[in-house]
A and B are shown apart, each in its own frame.
Chain A
Amino acid sequence: MPERNIEFGKYGARGIKGHEAVARQLDALAGYIATPITARRGLIARLHYLTRTDHARQAAREAGLTVTDRTLKAWLDGKRSPSKANLERIEQAYRTVRRENVARYLLARLNREGRGTRVEIHPLNQSQVDRPRQRVVEFRTLNVRCWDRIVQAWVAGDDQELDDAWVDQIVDLGSQWGQYEYVTNVGFAA
C-alpha cells in the first residue's frame, strides 16, 4: 500500500505501530495480575487462575501449558518450582486464557450496541527530526464502531491480522491515514 511507511525513523521520528498501541491499551483494559510471575505470589495467582475449574485447565492446556496435573499440584503446593521455560509458558498461557475470557465483555463495552468508542490517536514524536523535515501531524480522534475483528485478532495474538484490522479502521481518517500508521499512543476507554 502506498500509504505505508517504508523506512520509518530514517530522519529520527519515533513511535510504535498503531496496532501495537491498540494491543497495549486492550491489555491495560483486560487487567492482568500485577505481580510479576517471578514472585511467588504472582506465580500462585496465575496458577490458580489456570486451574480453578476443569474448563480453565482445558483452556490452559490448549493455550500451551501441557504439563501433567501432578506437576501443577506440586507447583501449587510449593514442593517444586517451575523452570524458566515453564514460567514463560505459564505466563503465556495465562495471558491467552485471560484474553479469551475477557474478550466477550470487552467487545460488548467497546461496541456499545453499535455506538462504538471514541479513539484518540496521538501522533508520532518528531522532536528528534530536523526542523525542515518536520511535518504538521495533528492529534486526531475517531469513532470506531466495529471492534470485532480487532478484538478477535488481539485474542488470537495475531499481529498481522491485528494490523490489518486496525488499518482497516484508520483509513477512515482520510487520505493522510498513513501519517498515523505509527503513533505515540492510542487511547480509548471501555
Chain B
Amino acid sequence: MTDFEAIDALLARAKQEVAALPPVDERRALREQLNLSRTQVAKALNVSPSTVGGWESGRDPSGDLREKYAYFLQGAQAKLAAAAEDAPAGELADDGTPDAGQKNPVQDVEQDDVDALAAPESCVLCGQPAQFALAGLPQHLDAAECTAASSTAQPPAAPPQPEAAKPQPPAARRTADRTGDVPIVPKGRRAQAASDTPDLIGQAVTAALAQHSGDVEAATAALVKRAIPDAMALLDATRKGGRYDVVAHPWVPDILRKQTAHGADQIWEARPKWTRPHLPAGRHEVTALDINGAYLSALKTHLPIGQLEHSTGNHHDRRRAGVHLITPPVWEHDAVLPNPLGSRDEPGPLWVTEPTLRLLLRLSGPKYGLCDPPEIHESFTSGATENLLEKFRIALKDARDTAIAADDEVTLEYVKAMYSKFVSTMGESNYNRELYRPDWMHIIRSQAFANLWWKAHRAFDEGLLVVRAMGTDELHVIGDWRAVFPEGRGVTEVKIKDVYSIGTDPDHTNNP
C-alpha cells in the first residue's frame, strides 16, 4: 500500500490556496488548484505524465489504476473543500475525527459530480459502505471517512493510513513562514519557491537510506556506485537556464588524446612533488596540512566552453582558456618555494593548461616578479568562463557543509564521490560517456595544483617554513600555521594530517 501512502504524502505536501476556490468540475482543474504538476501526480500513481494528461482529456483508467486515481481525485476534492470551508468561516474543521464524516458533505462541498446514494454501496477505495458517489463511483468523500469506516469494520487490503502523512506540514513551508521572505527562482514560464526546487542530493540520500532500511554502509556503497550518473544529472539540473550549453563531445586535438589505451596524453598538469632541500639547524616540528575538498574548489576555474581552436604566437588572451605549448621560465626559488611547474625533469617546451599558465604569468608580473614570463608557442583555446560549473560546485559545497554540520557521513561520502569521480571521468573514460572533455579534466586538476601552490606561497609569505608540497592537497609547514590558515573541515579551511619532528635538538647535543 505504499502507493496510497505516496498519494497521501503528495496531498499533504500540496500547497492549498487559502483564497476562495472556484467550483471544481474537472480533473485537471482539481490538480492545478492543488499546484500539482502532471509529473508529480504521475510519479505518485506510478504512470507516465502523458497518461495523466490523457485521463484529464477524456480517457479513463481502469482496474487498479482507476482506484488510485479516484482516490487521488477524491482526496484533492476533500482537501479543496476543507480549504473552502475554513476560509470564510474561520472555524477549525477537525478532519481527523469521525464526527467530521457525520456532516453531510454535499452541503459543504458543492460539486456537480457528487451524488447522494439512495442505499449505501461499497466504497471503491476501502470497500466499506459509502453514501455518496463521485463521478458515478460510490466512495467516501474524505480520506478520513475511509479510515474511520475501515477502523470500525475489519479492513480488506485496501485501507490507506492518511493520518500518518497528513498532519506534518512540509518543511519548506515551515521555513518560508518563519522567515517571512520566500526566495523564488524561475521555472519554465512560471516562478517557484527556491525551496521547492528538487534537492537531488538530499533526495538520493533519503531514497538510498530508505531502500537499505537505514543500513548506513550499504546505502553509502550504493550511492557511491551511482555517483557518476548522479553528478551528470546534477550538472544538467544546474545548467538549466544557463547562458552556455555544456559542449560534451567537441573535436579534440591530438595532444589531448591518449596515445595508447593505458598511456597518457601530452598535457603536463604541473602536479607538485616538492621537498625543501635544506632546513635551518635544530629540531623542528612539522605539521602536515590537508586542504579540504581540493578538487571541489578547483571546479571554479576558467573552462573553455566550446571546441578548442588553434592559434600561434606569444600572446595570451584573458578571455580564452585551453592548453598552451610554452617554454617555461627558469625557477630560482626551489630552496624555499616549489616550482609552479611541478617536478618536471625534462627540459624544453611542454603543453600546460590554463591555470598553470596564468600562475606563471602572474608570478612573472610586477607584483611578484618571481620569474621571467613563459614563452607561448602555440595554443588550443576557446572562449572561457569561470561560471560553467559554478552552480554545480555551490550545490555540492552546500550539501557538503550541511552534511558536516549534521554529521551526516552518508551524504559526505556521496558528495565526495560525486565531485572526485566527476573530475576523474570527464575525460576519455568509459565510466562516463556523457562528457568527453579531457581538456576540462586537465584544467581542473591543474587548478587544484595551482591553488595548492598559492597556499604554499601564502605560508611562505606569512613567515612559515614550507617543507613539502605534494599531490593535490598536502602541505607540510613549520611554524604557527594557525595564524595563517583556519582549521576546520570547510573548503576554505585546512585539517591536520600528521605532526612529526625533523632534526635533532641543538640543546640536547650541546649539553649532554
Residues of A within 8 A of B (CB): 25, 34, 120, 122, 127, 139, 141, 184-190
CA distance A187 to B309 in the complex (A): 17
Does B49 sit within 8 A of A, measured CB to CB? no
Does B247 sit within 8 A of A, measured CB to CB? yes
Tell me the B307-325 residues at the A interface (CB within 8 Å): 307, 309
CA distance A184 to B247 in the complex (A): 14
CA distance A186 to B260 in the complex (A): 23
Of all chain A residues, the one with the shortest Cβ separation from B258 is A34
Q: A189-B433, A189-B434 are in contact. Are A184 and B248 (CB under 8 A)?
A: no
Tell me the B223-253 residues at the A interface (CB within 8 Å): 245, 247-251
CA distance A127 to B309 in the complex (A): 9
Closest 3 CB pairs of A and B: A187-B249, A189-B433, A185-B251
A-B contact pairs, 11 of them (CB 8 A): A34-B260, A34-B261, A120-B250, A122-B250, A139-B306, A139-B307, A184-B251, A185-B249, A185-B251, A187-B249, A187-B436
- In the complex, what residues of A have CB within 8 A of residue B248's CB? 120, 187, 189
- In the complex, what residues of A have CB within 8 A of residue B434's CB? 189
Chain A CB count within 10 A is highest, among B249, B433, B434, for B249
Q: A34-B260, A34-B261 are in contact. Are A189 and B249 (CB under 8 A)?
A: yes
Select one of A25, A122, A186 contacting B307, CB under 8 A: A122
Against A, the Cβ 8 Å flags (1 = close, 0 = not) of B380-410 are: 0000000000000000000000000000000
- In the complex, what residues of B have CB within 8 A of residue A186's CB? 249
- In the complex, what residues of A have CB within 8 A of residue B251's CB? 122, 184-185
Of all chain A residues, the one with the shortest Cβ separation from B432 is A189
CA distance A83 to B296 in the complex (A): 55
CA distance A139 to B260 in the complex (A): 30
- Chain B contributes a number of interface residues (CB within 8 A of A) equal to 14
- In the complex, what residues of B have CB within 8 A of residue A127's CB? 309
Select one of B247, B260, B309 contacting A120, CB under 8 A: B247
Of all chain B residues, the one with the shortest Cβ separation from A141 is B245
Tell me the B150-182 residues at the A interface (CB within 8 Å): none
Residues of B within 8 A of A (CB): 245, 247-251, 260-261, 306-307, 309, 433-434, 436
CA distance A34 to B248 in the complex (A): 24
- In the complex, what residues of B have CB within 8 A of residue A185's CB? 249-251, 307
**Is the CB–CB distance between B249 and A139 below 8 Å?**
no
CA distance A122 to B307 in the complex (A): 8
Select one of B247, B260, B306, B433 contacting A190, CB under 8 A: B433
- In the complex, what residues of B have CB within 8 A of residue A187's CB? 248-250, 436
Of all chain A residues, the one with the shortest Cβ separation from B251 is A185
CA distance A187 to B247 in the complex (A): 9
CA distance A104 to B160 in the complex (A): 46
CA distance A141 to B245 in the complex (A): 10
Of all chain A residues, the one with the shortest Cβ separation from B434 is A189
CA distance A25 to B247 in the complex (A): 16
- In the complex, what residues of B have CB within 8 A of residue A34's CB? 260-261
- In the complex, what residues of B have CB within 8 A of residue A139's CB? 245, 247, 306-307
Select one of B249, B250, B261, B306 contacting A188, CB under 8 A: B249
CA distance A189 to B307 in the complex (A): 17
CA distance A34 to B261 in the complex (A): 8
Given contacts A122-B247, A139-B245, A185-B307, 9 further A-B contacts (CB under 8 A): A34-B260, A120-B248, A120-B249, A122-B250, A122-B307, A141-B245, A187-B249, A189-B248, A189-B249
Quote the shortest CB–CB distance from B14 to chain A (angstroms).
29
- In the complex, what residues of A have CB within 8 A of residue B433's CB? 189-190
- In the complex, what residues of B have CB within 8 A of residue A141's CB? 245
Chain A CB count within 10 A is highest, among B251, B260, B433, for B251
Of all chain A residues, the one with the shortest Cβ separation from B310 is A127
**Is the CB–CB distance between A184 and B309 below 8 Å?**
no
Quote the shortest CB–CB distance from A10 to chain B (angstroms).
22
Of all chain A residues, the one with the shortest Cβ separation from B428 is A28
Chain B CB count within 10 A is highest, among A25, A139, A186, A190, for A139
Quote the shortest CB–CB distance from B3 to chain A (angstroms).
24
CA distance A190 to B30 in the complex (A): 41
- In the complex, what residues of B have CB within 8 A of residue A122's CB? 247, 250-251, 307
Of all chain B residues, the one with the shortest Cβ separation from A185 is B251
- In the complex, what residues of B have CB within 8 A of residue A188's CB? 249
Quote the shortest CB–CB distance from B261 to chain A (angstroms).
6
Of all chain B residues, the one with the shortest Cβ separation from A29 is B433
Of all chain B residues, the one with the shortest Cβ separation from A183 is B251
Quote the shortest CB–CB distance from B499 to chain A (angstroms).
47
CA distance A34 to B306 in the complex (A): 28
CA distance A187 to B306 in the complex (A): 13
CA distance A15 to B260 in the complex (A): 26
- In the complex, what residues of B have CB within 8 A of residue A184's CB? 251, 307
- In the complex, what residues of A have CB within 8 A of residue B247's CB? 120, 122, 139
CA distance A34 to B434 in the complex (A): 22
Quote the shortest CB–CB distance from B241 to chain A (angstroms).
16
Quote the shortest CB–CB distance from A30 to chain B (angstroms).
13
Quote the shortest CB–CB distance from B253 to chain A (angstroms).
11
- In the complex, what residues of A have CB within 8 A of residue B250's CB? 120, 122, 185, 187
Quote the shortest CB–CB distance from A25 to chain B (angstroms).
8
CA distance A184 to B251 in the complex (A): 7
CA distance A139 to B250 in the complex (A): 10
CA distance A139 to B306 in the complex (A): 9
Quote the shortest CB–CB distance from A42 to chain B (angstroms).
12
- In the complex, what residues of A have CB within 8 A of residue B260's CB? 34
- In the complex, what residues of A have CB within 8 A of residue B306's CB? 139
CA distance A189 to B250 in the complex (A): 12
Of all chain B residues, the one with the shortest Cβ separation from A184 is B251
Of all chain A residues, the one with the shortest Cβ separation from B305 is A139
CA distance A186 to B247 in the complex (A): 11
Chain B CB count within 10 A is highest, among A184, A186, A187, A190, for A187
Quote the shortest CB–CB distance from B233 to chain A (angstroms).
14
CA distance A184 to B260 in the complex (A): 24
Quote the shortest CB–CB distance from A120 to chain B (angstroms).
5
Chain B CB count within 10 A is highest, among A127, A184, A186, A189, for A189
Quote the shortest CB–CB distance from A20 to chain B (angstroms).
13
- In the complex, what residues of A have CB within 8 A of residue B436's CB? 187, 189
Quote the shortest CB–CB distance from A158 to chain B (angstroms).
25
